[in-house]
Structure 1
Amino acid sequence: MDAVEVDGLRIAYRRAGAGDPLLLLHGGFEDSRLWMDDIERLQEHVDVIAWDAPGCGASDDVPDGWRAADWSRTAASFIDALGLEHPAVAGFSFGSTLALLLARDHPESVGGLVLVGAYAGWRGSLDADEFARRVEATQFTLTHPVEEWVDDFLASVYTPETPPRRRNLSRELVDHWRRDTTRALLDVMMLDLSGALGSIATPTLVARGVDDTRSPREAALEIVERMPDARFVEIADAGHDASGPALDALLIEAAHAAAAVH
């Protein structure tokens, strides 16, 4: 892994390949290691970068008082520090909300978006009952041993057909997750970005696994409807985690499209 200093933080990342840039933003309870199989496939076609978000993996801890604007600013500064010009930015789950924040706050940094298992923040994509349940479940993880909640969490992310190696890696990453990161992550996930979607003109692909039980199909469709330049694609035989060759093909397409425009 490489690392770069961004806004006083050491941000670690993986980078491979060459050509049109593609930045990958991972979800909660994980880091860039969950993208490794994708990187292996993508590097033949694009310059692929997967960061460890602040507080994740090999990156520095999230500072005290970290807020949504800090997440988007640091992502924009990371793009600038690596000299990426209008990359396509793909975000999974929490990463999808962060990608929307980045495009809202720093549109000049982003050439295209791919939102996978997408949320316009939980408040912007879930009904009131599910929002409350999701917040309660996440707060539960802050005060209870991993063994009391990890199986339910993994079952909501992966399908029974998910390769055991990938699921086992995810389980391992949960053991190394930092609780302070969850507190900072919640500040983003509790947002309602639905009202900002109409002002985000970045070309956007919203991709959803057909068997996703965590991010509602209606939420993905609403994001597409509200954004001025967005389209929707469903991926067969995939759940909330839609990683695989079908998603990689969409990511490659997005990277090339963003580069062609800019």
Structure 2
Amino acid sequence: MAVVRVDGVDVAYTREGRGPVVVLVHGAGIDGRMWQPQVEALADEFTVVAWDEPGSGRSGALPAGFGLADFARALATVIEDVGLGPAQVAGLSWGGTVVLELYRRRPDLVRSLLMVDTYAGWKGSLPPEEVAARVEGARRMLAAPREEFDPTLPGLFSAGPPERFAVLLETMSRDVRPETMAAQLSLMAEADQTDLLPRITVPTLLLWGERDTRSPLEVAHAFREAIPHTELVVIPSVGHVSNLEAPEAFTAAVRAFCRAHA
């Protein structure tokens, strides 16, 4: 584990392997451990970096007023700290929104993009009534007493959590900080990054679960229409957290894309 300090916050990340650098950015209500199968599998060919964003996992507490631009700046600092030049950067769900903001502000640090079951912000990718329903659901979840707080969002998996990662998911769930999740979901609800998509000039992979109900395939098709130099890979029969529901197929797609653009 390595630690870099950004805006007074200690930001932790793991680094495994050697070769071209691939940076993995986790979703909301979770941390860098979600990438465990990809870190282990890809380290034979790549330098694989998985961060715990500020307020998550082993990183320090999220400062008050920390915005999307601050998350992007923290991610940029991690990539600079790794010191291997522009990275191939993958973001799942909320992590993809952070990665897009990184590209907006520091395109010099991005060799290619891997957008996984994600959004150009909820506001940019979902109907207004769906955004309103999610905001209300998040409000109810966050209003629960701490001992009853459950950060599990609906629709993450097509057929329930995969058994082989049950312990990992339970451990990460226990470590979620409500104040961090509140900030993540609030920022995602307000974000609209659709203006950025046509201006992306690096190779881009869209990697989606066929049965994703949180970010349906319609969102992937909208990304593909808007972003030049993009390709879409759909993983059959899996949902939103496709990297854990079908890790072998997911990792094979990531490996092929990253190898082609290293």
TM-score normalised according to structure 2 size: 0.91
Q: Give the 3-state SS of the residue equivalent to 1:124 in structure 2.
A: helix
Report if aligned partners of 1:94, 1:189 keep a CA contact under 8 Å in 2: yes
Counterpart residue number, 1:124: 124
Q: CA deviation at 1:149?
A: 7.2
How far, CA to CA, are the matches of 1:152 and 1:2 in structure 2? 28
Read off the aligned partner of 1:51 and give its amino acid letter: W
Q: Give the 3-state SS of the residue equivalent to 2:195 in structure 1.
A: helix
Q: Deviations over 1:6-44 (max 9, x none)?
A: 343211111111111100001111111111122111111
How far, CA to CA, are the matches of 2:32 and 2:86 in structure 1? 21
How far, CA to CA, are the matches of 1:133 and 1:73 in structure 2? 30
- Of 213, 237, 257, which aligns to 1:254? 257
Q: CA deviation at 1:148?
A: 6.3
Q: CA deviation at 1:162?
A: 4.5
Q: CA deviation at 1:147?
A: 7.9
Counterpart residue number, 2:90: 90
Counterpart residue number, 1:166: 165
Pair 1:186-2:185 in alignment: yes
Taking structure 1 as reference, are residues 56 and 149 closer, same or farther at Cα in structure 2, changes over 3 Å only?
closer
Read off the aligned partner of 2:62 and give its amino acid letter: V
Q: Which runs of 5+ in 1 are unaligned?
A: none
**Of the two structures, which has the highest relative contact order with CA contacts closer than 8 Å and spacing of 6 or more?**
1
Q: Which runs of 5+ in 2 are unaligned?
A: none
Q: CA deviation at 1:257?
A: 3.4
How far, CA to CA, are the matches of 2:252 and 2:86 in structure 1? 19
How far, CA to CA, are the matches of 2:56 and 2:218 in structure 1? 30
Q: Give the 3-state SS of the residue equivalent to 2:196 in structure 1.
A: helix
Counterpart residue number, 1:138: 138
Q: Which has the higher mean CA deviation after the structures are superposed, 25-34 or 76-85?
A: 76-85
Counterpart residue number, 1:234: 234
Read off the aligned partner of 1:156 and give its amino acid letter: G
Q: Deviations over 1:200-259 (max 9, x none)?
A: 222111111112121111111101111122121101232111111111122223333342
Q: CA deviation at 1:189?
A: 0.6
| Structure 1: 4+ residue segments shifted above 6 A | 146-149
Read off the aligned partner of 1:254 and give its amino acid letter: F
